[in-house]
Amino acid sequence: MNFPKFFYLRLLFVFFLFFRFSENSYSQSKTESVLVTKVSDGDTFWVTYPSGKEEKIRLIGINAPESRKTGKKEVEHFGKEASVFAKQLLFNKRVRLEFDVQKYDRYKRTLAYAYLESGAMVNALLVKEGYAQVATFPPNVRYQELFQKLEREARSAKRGLWK
């Protein structure tokens, strides 16, 4: 069979796009180790990249109770405890970030799963210890089942906000 020249060019272009975007999406799904420079509450913190760039991170799949009154939001039950726990866990520590389908929320915060140097996922630890509850929003639902299982366990054991 003798295919026209443009067929081969199209095929080559399709392969190029496939490898270009699959490599890109993989490299964007995980980051190198970054330093946590500020923790505002149980599910939000700031990191500094090696380049010096700072970014506000909102943990995916969970919601920690409010620790301070802001705007219309009141301090919620166990909010201060969740904030203290998150600060002890994260402040001035290095974490690796993993992104899901949607990288930013409507408030322009970067959405991520965070991992300590030990490999433990921060999002899961907060739920497991009762400092946050499950709050998943499609399309970022990669660990929804894990978080739901951990929340059930925390409730049964009456840990944290489930006391």
CA distances from 140 to 46, 93, 133, 152 (A): 20, 25, 16, 20
Determine which one of 66, 81, 129, 151 is catalytic.
66
Judge whether 66 counts as a catalytic residue. Answer: yes
Determine which one of 76, 94, 96, 109 is catalytic.
109
Judge whether 109 counts as a catalytic residue. Answer: yes
| CA nearest neighbour of 78 among 89, 64, 60 | 64
Cis bond before residue 139 (omega within 30° of 0) = yes
Nearby residues of 77 by Cβ (< 8 Å), 6 or more positions away: 65, 161
Judge whether 152 counts as a catalytic residue. Answer: no
Buried/exposed code over 115-134 (b: 16+ C-beta within 10 A; e: otherwise): bbeeeebbbbbbbbbbbbbb
Task: Cite the beta strand spans of 62-155 per DSSP E.
Answer: 62-63, 94-98, 110-116, 133-134
Residues annotated catalytic, as ranges: 58, 66, 109
